[in-house]
Amino acid sequence: MDIMGILQKLASESGFAAFFLAEGGWKNLVMILIAFVLLYLGIVKKFEPLLLCGIAFGCLLSNLSYFIGMGDNALYHPELWAQFLDSTSPYYHSYGHIMANAGLLDFFYIGVKAGIYPSLIFLGVGAMTDFGPLLANPKSLLLGAAAQLGVFVAFFGAVLLGFTGPQAASIGIIGGADGPTAIFLTTKLAPELLGPIAIAAYSYMALIPLIQPPIMKLMTTDKMRKVKMVQSREVSKTEKIVFPIVVATFVILLLPSTAPLVGCLMLGNLFRECGVTDRLSDTAQNALMNIVTIFLATSVGATMTGDNFLQPQTLYIILLGLVAFSISTVGGLLGGLVMYKTSGGKINPLIGSAGVSAVPMAARVSQDVGRKYNKNNYLLMHAMGPNVAGVIGSAIAAGFLLSVFG
Amino acid sequence: MIDLVNIPVGAAGGYALLGYLVVFFGLVLLMCVLLIMGAINTGKQKRAIEKAMPVADKSAPVLTLENTMPKATGTAGELKLYNTDPRDAAMVMAIVADSLGKPINELRFISIREVTDDEV
């Protein structure tokens, strides 16, 4: 028995050796440290923990098991996906080739690549969302539209920084403040940027309570912030049932590329409101949502390999993501200011910033800032209107970018 | 034909503007649809209330859409507080929602009043 030979083989195959022997092994070490930081942010700082913990652990697993030239035991194989996307490769768009050689996280990633997970997340979001405030005040949709400004400004900024059109579109959608939409669009247009874009989208969504209030204070006066809005009208059950059917029909006919996201969002909402599918609504909101979140987060994290992530463009993406979020907030507030003026001071402009999707965090920020200036002001339900309008708005923005660059 | 991969800056600006307009266009159209839906529904509610009004009984209080509607919608409405601190009221509403197992935005609180020991 060649004990020394076996030990030598084990040593040379170990990840510890690979850090120093494999090409770019040091990058894996750096990515592992980044995974630890993300785990810290998720667990200790509670930054979108449901997603960030999974993303961070996916990143950790990927960088522990994959080293360039030593991919036999890898959970995720970037080179397989590079061949999948290379139109000159014999394995172009070949799921069979992926499945024959895949690691566990490659299998998970198929759901991202096929656009299944983001759509299923939207199903759950639809089942959890009460569109009543939007129905009570349909003008909220204008704020949801205004708050997409950051998407297109960041897109333009990314082109100026040298990104390609599809990459710039994927970066811009970070400003929609909607993680599943960002992942959906990036997977279709620029899958090589999925890791940094997902991290930027979810991190900034968690940082909304820090990003938005200074901009809100800068753009509004004390008098505006104190405006108490009148109670919205009551919305009937029938309206709530008809709403998802109307929106799905209308928006998908207008922009067919939004069909997976808007279709699932509205199907989930129909389950919630129709009153005869409570079990399905419950599953979409809880069990299904949780299962899909696990698969989505770990597989997105797995794409964060050293070679892919440790690039100057990652820093640009993080920076442009912040710009996108901030400009979207500015856009929503500008919409709010216009409504404040046109309504004769009856609409509190603070609800405009909630147009940046990120349900319900952005609406809570409007509520908190409003209450700081008027203790008896309850803006939450008024802000929920633009907030859910932002979800539809970002899906339409993504649909537009997909139909132009897809 | 514009190269969309290596897109020129001017074209990118054009697409950005067009995209923003498309989002507005889509949501404005949707707003119109929802406003029509709302108007139809409000009209139906009004007709139902008018139909329910007893014709003969002139002394009965007049029912209108406004006075048949509850005065508060959860956290957004005109919740009346009597001898109650807003923080305590928020806590009461949260406890009620938790006990009922319902989201707080689906509950309707009209008023909250502190009950003194003498009244118990």
At A350-359, the pLDDT tens digits run: 999 999 988 8
Q: Which residue in the set A133, A155, A379 is minimally distant from B16, CB to CB?
A: A155
Q: What does the pLDDT look like over A12-39, one tens digit per residue?
A: 778 888 788 778 888 999 999 999 999 9
- The answer to whether B14 contacts chain A (CB < 8 Å) is no
Upper half-sphere CA count for residue A278 (Cβ side, 13 Å): 1
Contacts of B89 in chain A (CB under 8 A): none
CA distance B27 to A397: 11
Mark yes or no for CB contact B86/A376 under 8 Å.
yes
Say whether pLDDT at A60 is over 90.
yes
Say whether pLDDT at A269 is over 50.
yes
Mark yes or no for CB contact A165/B7 under 8 Å.
yes
Cβ contacts below 8 Å, chain A against chain B, sum to: 141
Dihedrals φ, ψ of B80, to 5°? -95, 130
Interface probe with B: pick from A181, A247, A350, A400, most Cβ of B within 10 Å: A400
Q: What does the pLDDT look like over A169-210, one tens digit per residue?
A: 999 999 998 989 999 999 999 999 998 999 899 888 888 999
Say whether pLDDT at B54 is over 70.
no
Q: How far is CA A345 from the centre of its chain?
A: 34
Q: How far is A236 from chain B (nearest CA, A)?
A: 8
Q: What's the pLDDT at B94? A: 86
Mark yes or no for CB contact B13/A156 under 8 Å.
yes
CA distance A43 to A337: 38
CA distance B118 to A339: 49
CA distance A334 to A337: 5
Read off the pLDDT of each residue in A290-316 and give the average, rounded to a whole number. 91
CA distance A403 to A399: 6
Q: Pinpoint the alpha helices (H) of A220-258.
A: 222-225, 237-254
- The answer to whether B83 contacts chain A (CB < 8 Å) is no
Nearest to A351 by CA among A343, A222, A359, A364: A364
Q: How far is A120 from chain B (nearest CA, A)?
A: 23
Q: What does the pLDDT look like over A227-257, one tens digit per residue?
A: 999 877 888 899 999 999 999 999 999 889 9
Q: What's the pLDDT at A53? A: 94
Say whether pLDDT at B59 is over 90.
no
CA distance A26 to A16: 11
Q: What is the separation, in whole angstroms, between the first and last Cα of chain B?
A: 81
Closest-CA residue of A relative to B75 is: A378
CA distance A235 to A148: 27
Dihedrals φ, ψ of A152, to 5°? -85, -30
- The answer to whether A234 contacts chain B (CB < 8 Å) is yes
- The answer to whether B48 contacts chain A (CB < 8 Å) is no
Say whether pLDDT at A336 is over 70.
yes
Contacts of A396 in chain B (CB under 8 A): 22-23, 26-27
To which residue do tokens 């802000």 refer? A383
Tokens of B82: 């009597």
Contact A173, A186 (CB under 8 A): yes
Tell me which amino acid residue A216 is: M
Q: What's the pLDDT at A98? A: 93
Whether the ω angle into residue A360 lies within 30 degrees of 0, i.e. cis, is yes
- The answer to whether A245 contacts chain B (CB < 8 Å) is no
Cβ burial of A108 (10 Å; 0-12, 13-18, 19+) is: buried
Q: How confident is the model at residue A343 (pLDDT cuts 50, 70, 90)?
A: very high
- The answer to whether A190 contacts chain B (CB < 8 Å) is no
Q: What's the pLDDT at B109? A: 82
Mark yes or no for CB contact B7/A392 under 8 Å.
no
Q: What's the pLDDT at B72? A: 47
